[in-house]
Structure 1
Amino acid sequence: MKKVKSNIRYITLFSFLFLIGFSTSYGQDFNKEELSYSEFLGYVKKYHPLVKQANLEVSTAQAMLMVARGGFDPKIEVDYNKKEFKGTEYYSLLNSSFKIPTWYGVEIKAGFDETDGQYYNPQNRTPDAGLTSLGISVALGQGLFINQRMADVREGKLQIKLSDAQRKLKAIEVLYKASEAYFEWRRSFNEAELYKNYLGFASTRFAGVKKLIEYGDSPAIDSVEARITVRNRELNVENGNLKLAKAKLAISNYLWIENVPVELADNVKPEQDLIQTLEETLKTSSMMVNVETLESHPKIQALETKLSMLEINRQLKANLLLPKVNVGYNYISEPAYFDSFNADDYKFNIDFSIPIFLRKERGNLKIAKLKMQDLKFDIDQQRLELKNKIKAQQTEIASLKRQKTVIDNLVKDYMVMLSSEEKLFSFGESSIFLINSRENNLVSAKLSQISIENQFYISNAELYKILANPD
């Protein structure tokens, strides 16, 4: 009994430690100091429900292909009818068969028939032991090289390729929106930090001005000027914190582990060196993008696959111009004599039909050709639009890089101007008003710097979306 209780304690302790480790392993990735963009994108790709939902496209297509292949499954058929009335057996009819469809218009069939009773159609009469048959049925016109079953299987295989392209297009939409949320979080975080820093500077300056006023080295109006700046900075900080809180909630919509949504801890920060790693993460560098080769693009692949499916439909419509010619031959024998072949014992059938004018068939074939031509025009237009979109986006990214260089230099110049103004103030040759003016210009320039950086990130994300390569 003591041993059992001891085992229970060990199991309980192990379970407790496992749960702690499990929750820690889930939480530690989202409670470290920095969540990089590449890590964030990896979590979205692996765990987000909408990305998983996009993956269902391929699974559905595979199931549809299985349905289409079911048209070639062997089939057993049994038809049994019996009538007995007032002690008289009118008839007992058994017709059974085993059919094997093949890829082309050929079907192999084995059967067994047995007839008994007093009243039945004489053509159904069989020997007492029954009648076996083994034969083949061939479509010599329509259905020999293509039929509906063959078309369904071919389209099913193409549907898997189409579904994979559609999966990429759906997944890239989710990843783009997730990227927008991350960049907005980073922008809000940097703006909030900027306001906090300059609130600290303004508060320090306000305290210094008050001491200067006490010593009689500065007019009292300077304290009002400094206090106004502090209050403006406090408003900026509050607005910045509000934007940051909203941005963190927005990015939490894309953070999942397995089926569990995860929220960022308060101490987690976005990647600050993102400008160094972004193009490598998204593969949007001009060295990695070839505008001329778009055959692997999901949108082009999807359209080309649809064109292949239309080609199958065209072949099916063209096949309907042929006459229906079905020929069947079955060797028949009693079960005991089946080992000795007698060519005179057989069943033979031939079916033939063809419309005289074939107007319906010719019209359907023309419609199929027109649909293909229409899609070819669409493919050509999509190729051109994709090339121009990629080039336009690359031009925008290059422009934003140049703007980033200009704004960086502008920020440096404003910092020099502010530093110089503060030195002049220490010599009594400047005023709080001028210092605040210089600082406001610097803050505005840094906000523009953050905004241009954010535009650069979003522009790369848009190029990533256009290229549509989430894998």
Structure 2
Amino acid sequence: MKNKILWFLFVSNMAWAQTKTLHPESYLKIVEAYHPVARQAQIGIKKSDAQILQARGAFDPVLRHYIASKTLDGTSYYQYNAPELSIPTWYGIEVNSGIENLQGSRLDPSQTTGQTSYIGIQIPLAKNLLMDKRRAALQQAKLMNQMAFAEQRVVLNQLFLDAMEAYWHWLKCFQVLKITGQNLEAAKRRVEFVKRSLELGDRPAVDTLEASTQLMYMENQNLAKTLDYENATLQLSAYLWQENNVPSNLPKEVIPAEIWGDYSLFSNFDLSLNSILEKVDAFHPELQAYQFKIAGLNVEKKLKFQSLLPKIDLEYNHLMKEKSSGYSGALLANNYRFGIKFELPLRLSSGRGEYQSAKLKIEEETILLSQKKQQIQIKINSYFNQFQNLKKQIQTQEKAVTSYVALTKAEESKFSQGESSLFLINSREIKALEAAEKLLDLKAYLFKTVYALQASAGLLI
């Protein structure tokens, strides 16, 4: 069933004969769905999703239960049972609640016997108030997830560009092979014509040699172009895969869609230079990846800044005895446990060094971002200039091909009337063949350039 689905995508058009056509759109769907590089890029996104889930784990409520006891020489020193629930919150505040049950005959006077319950809160008043490792890890994981999507687009842009270059090369080789095949058939007919003319006494024997020599030349050309087409088919097959990482070979009966003259394929592409350059800042995946990386470094800088602050942690717990009727009165009047912890390195050497390092990383990546942006703009301008130039070259080459074909037909007409020679016909025919092949090279180059222009702007996917 899977192979049938792949074949349905593969063959996007069937004529009444057994001709099956592979169109660019269907081809790219196969590449996107099954190519290992595309699937690896998807795995990268799933890994970043897992990292977000892992970072969120730091905010999960934690249930603890501590049990301890000591008995020596028949004397029960203590029996301690203390379940506790701790709930971390986004702003570094931690809420906790629990029960302590302490029994025994050898206890610390500061400890309370019997069952005591409590609910309390821990608040950082300076360091870790605005940012801590848990929040930094989650924010960075989310940014890395967005970065993974940008990197996936980078990978797919390059993959689609390489795949389409293979397609246009395959199409060019196919059409060159068609032209050489047509010339080969014409050379065969000419040999037969000359032989009949020789038998009738209308042509000298040397014309047979001239026609046969041209036929051998066309046969060699056809063999060479057949080899080019077969190799191009193999190169295209490298991008065709099935599920379960199974490579797929392109069937011999499948041919490319002949769409050289159909520029409607470009209708979905932005071919305005100013418009493309405007979209680069907002949509180019490589620039987005740098921006997400810089945003992640800014989170790291905020975290490192906390090392410059004193650590002042406040802890308050409201206590209740087993048979207590509840709490009333001021917070610090009765039934509480309260504490403040203060800590400050006197020189802050480690904190200052880490903060300075974080700022330098941001500066470094900002420079790389500016450099990458300039490189992208230069590449876009270069491809756009190439695109404009190729359109003009194709127009000129199309006229040249038309002229060479007309000259060849004119020589054939003169030859049939005895006013020309096979040598001139062969010369005209070779020139027409070379001009036609040159035209196909330019058209393939044009289509490759359009896709390269879109890929360089990050708009191919």
TM normalised by structure 2 equals: 0.92
Question: Whole-Å Cα distance in 2 between the matches of residues 97 and 303 of structure 1?
Answer: 44
Question: Whole-Å Cα distance in 2 between the matches of residues 422 and 284 of structure 1?
Answer: 46
2:163 is matched by which residue type in structure 1?
Answer: A
Query: Secondary structure of 1:123's partner?
Result: coil
Partner of residue 137, structure 1: 122
Cα-to-partner distance string for 1:303-357 (whole Å, 9 max, x where unaligned): 1111111111111111211100011011112133153446411111111011112
Partner of residue 320, structure 1: 307
Partner of residue 17, structure 2: none
Partner of residue 358, structure 2: 368
Partner of residue 43, structure 1: 30
Counterpart pick for 2:447 among 457, 461, 464 = 457
Do structure 1's residue 73 and structure 2's residue 60 form an aligned pair? Answer: yes
Cα-to-partner distance string for 1:32-66 (whole Å, 9 max, x where unaligned): 33222122223322333322321222222121111
Partner of residue 283, structure 1: 269
CA separation of 1:83/1:470 partners in 2, compared to 1, >3 Å: closer, same or farther?
Answer: farther
Alignment of 1:172-251 (within 5 A): 172-251=157-236
Do structure 1's residue 423 and structure 2's residue 413 form an aligned pair? Answer: yes
Question: Whole-Å Cα distance in 2 between the matches of residues 109 and 133 of structure 1?
Answer: 8
Query: Secondary structure of 2:459's partner?
Result: coil
Counterpart pick for 2:106 among 114, 119, 142 = 119
Do structure 1's residue 106 and structure 2's residue 93 form an aligned pair? Answer: yes
Question: Whole-Å Cα distance in 1 between the matches of residues 451 and 266 of structure 2?
Answer: 12
Q: How much does 1:436 deviate?
A: 0.6
Cα-to-partner distance string for 1:239-271 (whole Å, 9 max, x where unaligned): 222221222222222234544654433332212
Cα-to-partner distance string for 1:80-129 (whole Å, 9 max, x where unaligned): 122334544333222321111111121111121122233343333422xx
CA separation of 1:150/1:25 partners in 2, compared to 1, >3 Å: closer, same or farther?
Answer: closer
Q: How much does 1:394 deviate?
A: 0.4
Question: Whole-Å Cα distance in 1 between the matches of residues 112 and 28 of structure 2?
Answer: 75
Partner of residue 400, structure 2: 410
Farther-moved stretch of structure 1 (63-72 vs 115-124) = 115-124
Query: Secondary structure of 1:328's partner?
Result: strand
CA separation of 1:168/1:447 partners in 2, compared to 1, >3 Å: closer, same or farther?
Answer: same
Asked if structure 2 preserves the Cα contact closer than 8 Å seen for 1:43 and 1:256, the reply is yes
1:459 is matched by which residue type in structure 2?
Answer: T
Partner of residue 27, structure 1: 7
Question: Whole-Å Cα distance in 2 between the matches of residues 207 and 448 of structure 1?
Answer: 30
Do structure 1's residue 169 and structure 2's residue 147 form an aligned pair? Answer: no
Partner of residue 443, structure 1: 433
Aligned-residue Cα RMSD (Å) equals 2.1
Q: How much does 1:204 deviate?
A: 0.7
Question: Whole-Å Cα distance in 2 between the matches of residues 89 and 336 of structure 1?
Answer: 24
Counterpart pick for 2:322 among 335, 360, 363 = 335
CA separation of 1:26/1:291 partners in 2, compared to 1, >3 Å: closer, same or farther?
Answer: closer
2:84 is matched by which residue type in structure 1?
Answer: S
Query: Secondary structure of 1:320's partner?
Result: helix
Do structure 1's residue 155 and structure 2's residue 140 form an aligned pair? Answer: yes
Cα-to-partner distance string for 1:117-157 (whole Å, 9 max, x where unaligned): 33343333422xx1111111110010111111111111122
Question: Whole-Å Cα distance in 1 between the matches of residues 288 and 300 of structure 2?
Answer: 18
Query: Secondary structure of 1:337's partner?
Result: coil
CA separation of 1:426/1:381 partners in 2, compared to 1, >3 Å: closer, same or farther?
Answer: same
Cα-to-partner distance string for 1:274-301 (whole Å, 9 max, x where unaligned): 4424652661422794313422211111
Question: Whole-Å Cα distance in 2 between the matches of residues 437 and 415 of structure 1?
Answer: 12
Question: Whole-Å Cα distance in 2 between the matches of residues 287 and 385 of structure 1?
Answer: 15
Question: Whole-Å Cα distance in 2 between the matches of residues 101 and 397 of structure 1?
Answer: 58
Query: Secondary structure of 2:347's partner?
Result: coil
Asked if structure 2 preserves the Cα contact closer than 8 Å seen for 1:292 and 1:387, the reply is no
Alignment of 1:375-386 (within 5 A): 375-386=365-376
CA separation of 1:70/1:25 partners in 2, compared to 1, >3 Å: closer, same or farther?
Answer: closer
Asked if structure 1 preserves the Cα contact closer than 8 Å seen for 2:69 and 2:80, the reply is yes
- Which blocks of at least 5 consecutive residues in structure 1 are unaligned? 1-18
Asked if structure 2 preserves the Cα contact closer than 8 Å seen for 1:38 and 1:281, the reply is no
Query: Secondary structure of 2:346's partner?
Result: coil
Asked if structure 2 preserves the Cα contact closer than 8 Å seen for 1:284 and 1:463, the reply is no
Question: Whole-Å Cα distance in 2 between the matches of residues 147 and 122 of structure 1?
Answer: 37
Q: What is the total number of aligned residue pairs between the two structures?
A: 449
Partner of residue 303, structure 1: 290
Query: Secondary structure of 2:323's partner?
Result: helix
Counterpart pick for 1:349 among 333, 339, 346 = 339
Question: Whole-Å Cα distance in 1 between the matches of residues 260 and 322 of structure 2?
Answer: 81
CA separation of 1:255/1:282 partners in 2, compared to 1, >3 Å: closer, same or farther?
Answer: farther
Question: Whole-Å Cα distance in 2 between the matches of residues 78 and 96 of structure 1?
Answer: 4
Asked if structure 1 preserves the Cα contact closer than 8 Å seen for 2:9 and 2:30, the reply is no
Asked if structure 1 preserves the Cα contact closer than 8 Å seen for 2:83 and 2:100, the reply is yes
Q: Percent identity?
A: 29
Q: How much does 1:193 deviate?
A: 0.9
Asked if structure 1 preserves the Cα contact closer than 8 Å seen for 2:276 and 2:457, the reply is no
Asked if structure 1 preserves the Cα contact closer than 8 Å seen for 2:10 and 2:26, the reply is no
1:27 is matched by which residue type in structure 2?
Answer: W
Query: Secondary structure of 1:93's partner?
Result: strand
Question: Whole-Å Cα distance in 1 between the matches of residues 264 and 365 of structure 2?
Answer: 36
Query: Secondary structure of 2:297's partner?
Result: helix
Asked if structure 1 preserves the Cα contact closer than 8 Å seen for 2:397 and 2:435, the reply is yes
CA separation of 1:233/1:370 partners in 2, compared to 1, >3 Å: closer, same or farther?
Answer: same
Question: Whole-Å Cα distance in 1 between the matches of residues 379 and 182 of structure 2?
Answer: 40
CA separation of 1:24/1:103 partners in 2, compared to 1, >3 Å: closer, same or farther?
Answer: closer
Query: Secondary structure of 1:141's partner?
Result: coil
1:408 is matched by which residue type in structure 2?
Answer: E
Asked if structure 2 preserves the Cα contact closer than 8 Å seen for 1:95 and 1:111, the reply is yes
Cα-to-partner distance string for 1:182-223 (whole Å, 9 max, x where unaligned): 111101111111111111011111111112222222221221
